[in-house]
Amino acid sequence: MSNASHSSPIDKPRVRFAPSPTGFLHVGSARTFIFNWLYARHNNGTMILRLDDTDVERNTDASVNSIFEGLKWLGLGWDEEYKQSDRGPLHRQTAQTIFEKGLAYRDFTPAHTGDSEKSGAQGTWLFNPGMREMSREESDRRAAAGEPFALRFRVPRDGGQVVRFADAVYGDQMKAGADIEDFALLRSDGNPTYHLASCADDADLRISHIIRGQDHLSNTFKHVLIFEAAGYTPPKFAHLPLLVAPDGTKLSKRRHGPVVSVTTYRDAGFLSEAFINFLCLLGWSPKDDRTKLSLQELVAIFSLEGINRANAVVNFKEPAATAEETFDPKAIWLNAEHIRGLAVEDLSQRLLPIVHEAGFNVAPEKMLQITPLIRERIKLLKEVLTAADFFFVDQLPPYDPAELIPQKGDAAMTKRVLEKASAVLPNTEFKHDPLDQALRGAAQELGLKAGQMFQPIRVAVCGRKNAPGLFETLEVLGKPVVLQRIQQALTKLP
């Protein structure tokens, strides 16, 4: 173990994201990763990914894959990567160092040598005097005889000793040593507890700032004791407010399901940069109250001082009646804003895989033509399949012929409009201005308002009234498709 973090100051921060692979990547965990990443990048520091995978019974390969899948979608990356399970010798060496200093003791009590880090009912147990006060000679004898034991930290209890640390979000924290249980460092099978492994790794990796969820705040008293007992200056701490559901309950995988999974947002059609923007505004705010922020802007202005103490509410409806209600309205609004801010070429490239996955064989060139027509009309990338479906299909799905009839019109008027369009369009160049001139001229010849001319054509070629601009749509669909669909519409009229 290196004592670099104890012996020399750190000019640039080293931060870490240390997920436990026991399920998919939680949105709260993603926010923790993002805040660490932003802090590192803002300060030209180092971002470390460490899988805290020592809980063998709960860790799964599927969870590991899910975490990496979620992080890959965020697209932020990291500088160093470690697996806690590869670092067992370091953890045991740290425990031995603490034990040799007399700051830990063996606990042979059968109830206290199992896998649990906590002991006793309702957490009321603090220590077993018989074990804590056992002589070293007796302890060595029983250990040499093969009697199983847990290794426990000897929390200082005399003289009113207090454990303190400063938190960048919640301020100065203190707790009497007499109120902290003699927590386990090693289980009876020799495996480290979370507390020991986490602190040993943080020390060895020279982590300068631990930025993690507020649910770890109470653990930090134990961690300060471990750092100091092992001969290290504890890192700086910043605990993040929790993400909660609309009813105030903690956002949990077990209760709230897919809505708390990062990949749910990805699969619904969120842009990763919009999702990052949204998560940053949950529990943190820029000084100027901006909402739509690019990644570059977030890196430039991020600071721990901007983190709030109050828990952050993710507003979604339970149960959700529509896919959109699954998500916080602010997340959807931000996504729409980011979509509108993308270059057409960039957005087109992001939409094309969704269209192909849905089974539509659309060429990149055509997608590039369609994209500017729907960019203002979609909030989620997946909505391309409903906003632009009529561009992709050979045959329109059935629609109500009554939709063809314009306001203050009838079937006879509609028939005249479509027949006139069938006569005019074959000789019209399929570009915006020529189409505009030709169809407005046709409306005048029929003695109709432009809207009465345009609606039947729009419904005929799109299958609905709500569609992008008519002339742009006709241009992208092309003359053969437009004329064919108008003829089909005529057959629907009486």
DSSP alpha helix (H) spans, 75-156: 88-100, 129-132, 136-144
Active site residue 72: no
Segments of 4-109 assigned E as strands: 14-17, 46-51, 80-83, 104-107
Among the options 253, 292, 449, 479, which is catalytic? 253
Dig out the tokens for 140 from the structure. Answer: 């060595």
The separation between the first and the last C-alpha atoms of the chain, rounded to the nearest angstrom, is 86
DSSP string, 191-246: PBPHHHHHHHHHHHTT--EEEEEGGGTTTHHHHHHHHHHTT-PPPEEEEEPPEE-T
Q: Are 51 and 18 in contact (CB under 8 A)?
A: yes
What are the φ and ψ backbone dihedral angles of 153, each rounded to 5 degrees?
Answer: -75, 135
**What six digits make up the tokens of 461?**
């070629």
- Cβ-count burial of 449 within 10 angstroms (0-12 exposed, 13-18 middle, 19+ buried)? middle
CA atoms of 385 and 266, how far apart (whole Å)? 16
What tokens does 200 get?
A: 């040993």
Query: Facing residues of 243 across strands?
Result: 312
Residues with a known catalytic role: 253
